[in-house]
Structure 1
Amino acid sequence: MEKESEQEKPEGGSSRKSPFSLFMNQLQGKKSSEKEGKSQSSLVSRLFKGSKPNPPKTDLKKEASELETTDSQPDNEMETEAGIKTQTETSSKTPTTSETDLGSNTAKIEQFLQKMGKKPNSRSIDLNNCGLTSTDIAELVALLPLLPDLEELDVSWNDLIGGALRPIMLQIHHISKLKILRLNNCRLTTDDVLALGEALKTTPDLEELNLSWNSNVGGNLRQIMQGMQEGSKVQILKFMDCDLTAEDAASIGQVLPLMQNLEVFDLSINRNIGCSLASIMQGLKNTPNLKVLKLHTCGLTRDSIQIVGAAFGYLPELRKLDLSGNKEAGGGFKDAAAHLAHLKQLQALDLHQCSLSEEDIASLTQVIPLLSSLQELDLSANKNVGGSSENLLSRLRFLPELATLVMHGCALGKDAFTALAEASMYLPALKILDLSWNKYVGGNLNLLLETLKLSAALQVLRLRSCSLVTEDMALLASVIQTGYLSKLQQLDLSYNDNISDEGWATFCQNVPFLKELTLLDISLRPANFRECGPWFGHLLNSLTKLPMLSELGIRRWRIPVPQEEDLEYFNRNHKRSIHFDYGGFQ
């Protein structure tokens, strides 16, 4: 996102000057204040490593004329050189007042950033989650005029500075090269928001604006959007959880035609705009470069989904579409799904928790095979997927690039799970498979046997609360032992309380074959507590053979005191850093 500035200031800072340069300055009658200004700029540049010097331009005709003049007067030249030598020696010993002041200012900048645990950078100030106070903001305000080349300013997740940001907004004109401004969760006040709207008029190069998790943005967005000018360079615009109103939605729609460079647009968790999307979608028709559209939990209804779908034909570059968390959208995909076919470049589709109806699923069944670029698909928490989705899931075989498939809580039945298992064998790029909260998987994991063998790229396998039984663990252990899951990094087997001690023992004896495993979770359900069996000794022995493991979830297992002590001292004895999540077992 960051681009190097097209023109940067020449490096200077030394008071020693060439005789010829000083002679020219004397002939031209230049003021010493101009030199001090250049010296100040160069010293700021030297403090940081963000800029490269460019040589100053020379007036060749004027220089040639002055050379002719000096050649005709050798006696004067000798006198001038003597004077220059004395002046140079004196200036090399005594720094100017401006240089002394600037040295103090640059020291203040460096000291402030070091106090925040940051390294000096002339183009980026990242104070995200630094616990800033209003006093810190006042100090930052005083330093901003000394950073004219600043391109990124991030003071997000500092919720104590709300109401103190207006002075920063008033200083924005000093950093007209600003490209990235992030003010997430700063508790912006109405006064802050109004000042921001005015400040944006002085940032013609702004490429990213993120005001997420600031509730006072809602109802005041019109003032902010007025700062967007014709030919806006903004590429990323995020207003997550800002309590946006229907009036805010209208304001966005009016300004979007000015933002033809927009690539990422996120309005998630604004529940009151679902019935006011017509203006926004009309505006998005003028953003042909849009690549990411997120409308998660925006109160979309059946009618809203149809309005969104009608805009897809104008978004040929869309890569990621998130319509999840809109529980009232069920039934709207019956007609809108057909418009998905326009999104030839779509790589990620998130429809989890959308209350998909049987008609929606039937429509998606026709469209899914046409999305050949799809890499991520999330259909989770849609109960009808499990009851009537055998045709839909069988079509997944036409998505050769699919790397992430998330279907937790889909109430998969026999036909649907069988169709999924058969289709998954044709997904060579699969890296993440999440089938959690589907009870039918338990006792039927053998249906996925060929998938587990053929998915050489699989890195994440989540089978949480799948009612797994001892036979499933024996099957999984056999697959692991033969090396088919050698790339696995995360394995979630939690909330499967029906597995016997023998099943856990078989698994724990074979888990060391997963050399790249970083996370393993075998926790029990919140309401269940259970004594560890002899298998726990096998697990402890396996820890020494899992070099990458950093997280072990064993919540609600009652661990014998000696073995609990072994866990406590494991990291120290083996110089490892494993987080043992076993709280709540008492």
Structure 2
Amino acid sequence: MEPSDVRRSRSPFDLIMNQIRRKRTTSDRKSTSGRFLSHQVDSGGISEDRETEEEKGGTSVAPDPADLEDGVCDMGWGRVCVFVQRLGKRADSRTLSLAYCDLTATDALELATLLPCLSLLEELDLSWNELIGGSLRLLTSHLQNVGRLRILRLSSCRLAADDIMALGEALEFLPLLEVLDLSWNAGVGGGALQGIVGKVHPTLTELHLVACQLTETDADVLGSVVSVLPRLRVLDLSCNTHLARTQTPTEGGGMYKSTAEVDRLEGLFLSLSQTPSLTSLRLHDCGLTGGSLNLLGGSFQCLGSLCQLDLSCNKGVAGGLSILCPHLAVLSHLSSLDLHLCCLTREDLRALIEVLPSLPELTKLDLSSNKEVGGVVSDIVPALPLSQIKLLPLNGCRLTYESFSSLALAMPYLRRVDVSWSKVVGGRLSLLLNGLQPSILQELRLSSCDLTTEDLLHLAAVCRRRILSTLRVLDLSYNRGVREEGWSGLLAEEGLGSLEELDVSLQTLTSNPSPLTWLPALLTALPRLPALTRLSLQRWTLTTQAREQLNHSLRKRNVLLEVDTPTSASSSKQERAEEAPCEE
């Protein structure tokens, strides 16, 4: 008799006993008679349980009985449910997320014993459980029971070298693994990465090693890992500041760059030629230098699919971007280029401007926090594919009047606009707003722009025309020059129905208290902001009555209200009093 025939021939008594073996809680059970009467002849106990929990919006999704052996996992699935629900999570036969559960070594061992009952598991997330560091072998020694696993996340688990070695041994039993995330584990760096060399299957498409304290020595090892991953699409090595640059103290106590830094990265960047499917390369804050960029550029010829390139927060590339830019021209599918906080020079920017016309699919160019950008925006904007560009953040770029006027040309296409910390905006906001098209802009950030009352009234007029109907984020913080009529005029309009975040905070330690005199306008506007999830009013002076009115208006809404507590206000006054003599 075939196994399927055995399942169909089970008696109702067997079905009831299978339900009892699940060890489910009383609150999740139906009456035995009800279950018996509604049961179909060819259905197993597990599938009926799944229907029950799905109908209730329940906490678990059981495996399909057609995929499991009779009896073996009936009892096991009940144990899985008890274990997962005890941690406040949802049991699912294909996806198991136990992130932020404070798992211990004992929990890891118990989970290991349950893996044979999770043969259908495709995603396992144990991130942010620092107590399992040093004991991962208890779990990895049983990973052969989940051979269908496609996603494994172990970020911020305090993994040590022994853990990585144990993981490497287990990876051989995961031939379908596509995503491996070991981010925020300092123990991965310093040579431990050697434990997974030759163990990762070529099916891997994403490798995340953010903030793993990788060194230049690890770069060679990483090159060996990447070179055998032809399907790799995402490689994230962000926040490994010593990956490309190691500083060694001299005899006199000074610091100098290691001469081996370029040679070490050569192996890694050469290995990228074996990853033709790579679409996202993230090297944020990796200590890159001009020499690093030269080596990286040489690999672009083999990366025709690259769409996202993040080189941000690498101040060492200053003056070296001109070496990389000619290589960027071959990345015809590049859609996102992030160069914020790279201390770019005028020479770097001129080289970038020359290559921009060769990037027709570019939708995001982040040059923020580069002071020299402000002087060349008038050249950057015409070089962009304006019909494609969606994000062009220019906060902290020392915009000039000429560059600010040039930015207006891109306004009809931008989804997000950020010109924060640009004093030139004050009194000239209309130049930007007049170019907006209806239902396009989603974020508008104007923090510390010296905005005036007239600027906000002009913004109110734009709202009145329903131009900002899709706006989700509006940041008007640190603009003390706006008077009451400006705030009230903006809040009186009805064109911000999609707004989710509103920030009108003031600067820290302002000299004079700022009473929220426009509170009535705010209270009237809140019902017209149904999507609001965050409202920041920090450093505004609120009376006890005003606080009560705000809380009452938001009592039935899930809105994060950010206001200063009376204690913090008193503290601010004390700090100002202490600083006053110093200012004198």
Same fold per TM (> 0.5)? Answer: yes
Q: Find out whether 1:513 has 2:495 as its counterpart.
A: yes
Q: Report the Cα offset of residue 12 of structure 1.
A: 5.9
- Which residue of 35, 53, 78 maps to 2:66? 53
> Given that residues 470 and 502 in structure 1 are in contact (C-alpha distance below 8 angstroms), is that contact kept between their aligned partners in structure 2?
yes
- Which residue of 294, 299, 314 maps to 1:311? 299
SS of 1:336's equivalent in the other structure is helix
Q: 1:101 to 1:386 in 2, by over 3 A?
A: closer
Q: Unmatched 5+ residue regions in structure 1? A: 1-8, 18-41, 56-97
The residue aligned with 1:129 is 100
> Given that residues 428 and 455 in structure 2 are in contact (C-alpha distance below 8 angstroms), is that contact kept between their aligned partners in structure 1?
yes
Q: 1:247 to 1:534 in 2, by over 3 A?
A: closer
Q: Report the Cα offset of residue 410 of structure 1.
A: 0.6
The residue aligned with 1:36 is none
Q: Find out whether 1:568 has 2:539 as its counterpart.
A: no
Q: 1:103 to 1:287 in 2, by over 3 A?
A: closer
The residue aligned with 1:420 is 407
SS of 1:342's equivalent in the other structure is coil
The residue aligned with 1:302 is 290
- Which residue of 323, 326, 331 maps to 1:343? 331
SS of 1:422's equivalent in the other structure is coil
Q: Report the Cα offset of residue 118 of structure 1.
A: 3.0
Distance 1:244 1:104 in 2: 44
Q: Unmatched 5+ residue regions in structure 2? A: 12-43, 50-60, 245-260, 571-584
Name the aligned partner's letter for residue 120 of structure 1. Answer: A
Q: 1:102 to 1:402 in 2, by over 3 A?
A: closer
Distance 1:268 1:400 in 2: 30
TM-score (norm 2): 0.81
The residue aligned with 1:446 is 430
Q: Report the Cα offset of residue 304 of structure 1.
A: 0.9
The residue aligned with 1:331 is 319
Distance 1:241 1:340 in 2: 26
Q: Find out whether 1:108 has 2:79 as its counterpart.
A: yes
Q: Find out whether 1:193 has 2:164 as its counterpart.
A: yes
Distance 1:220 1:263 in 2: 24
Q: Report the Cα offset of residue 16 of structure 1.
A: 3.6
> Given that residues 371 and 399 in structure 1 are in contact (C-alpha distance below 8 angstroms), is that contact kept between their aligned partners in structure 2?
no
Name the aligned partner's letter for residue 502 of structure 2. Answer: L
The residue aligned with 1:23 is none
- Which residue of 352, 363, 366 maps to 2:354? 366
The residue aligned with 1:582 is 563
The residue aligned with 2:184 is 213
Q: 1:129 to 1:13 in 2, by over 3 A?
A: farther
SS of 2:110's equivalent in the other structure is helix
Q: Find out whether 1:266 has 2:236 as its counterpart.
A: yes
The residue aligned with 2:453 is 470
> Given that residues 468 and 498 in structure 1 are in contact (C-alpha distance below 8 angstroms), is that contact kept between their aligned partners in structure 2?
yes
Distance 1:469 1:142 in 2: 65
Distance 1:219 1:462 in 2: 41
Q: Find out whether 1:375 has 2:363 as its counterpart.
A: yes
Q: 1:334 to 1:10 in 2, by over 3 A?
A: farther
Name the aligned partner's letter for residue 325 of structure 2. Answer: A
- 124-133 or 323-332, which deviates more: 124-133
Q: 1:100 to 1:386 in 2, by over 3 A?
A: closer
TM-score (norm 1): 0.81
Name the aligned partner's letter for residue 436 of structure 1. Answer: S
Distance 2:186 2:453 in 1: 50
Distance 1:237 1:10 in 2: 40
> Given that residues 198 and 225 in structure 2 are in contact (C-alpha distance below 8 angstroms), is that contact kept between their aligned partners in structure 1?
no
| Correspondences of 1:216-235 after superposition (within 5 Å) | 216-228=187-199, 232-235=202-205
**How many percent identity over aligned positions?**
40
The residue aligned with 1:524 is 506
> Given that residues 44 and 146 in structure 1 are in contact (C-alpha distance below 8 angstroms), is that contact kept between their aligned partners in structure 2?
no
SS of 1:451's equivalent in the other structure is coil
The residue aligned with 2:25 is none
Larger Rg: 1
> Given that residues 197 and 224 in structure 1 are in contact (C-alpha distance below 8 angstroms), is that contact kept between their aligned partners in structure 2?
yes
Name the aligned partner's letter for residue 434 of structure 1. Answer: D
Name the aligned partner's letter for residue 557 of structure 2. Answer: R
Q: Report the Cα offset of residue 15 of structure 1.
A: 5.7
Q: Report the Cα offset of residue 345 of structure 1.
A: 1.1
- Which residue of 460, 480, 495 maps to 2:478? 495
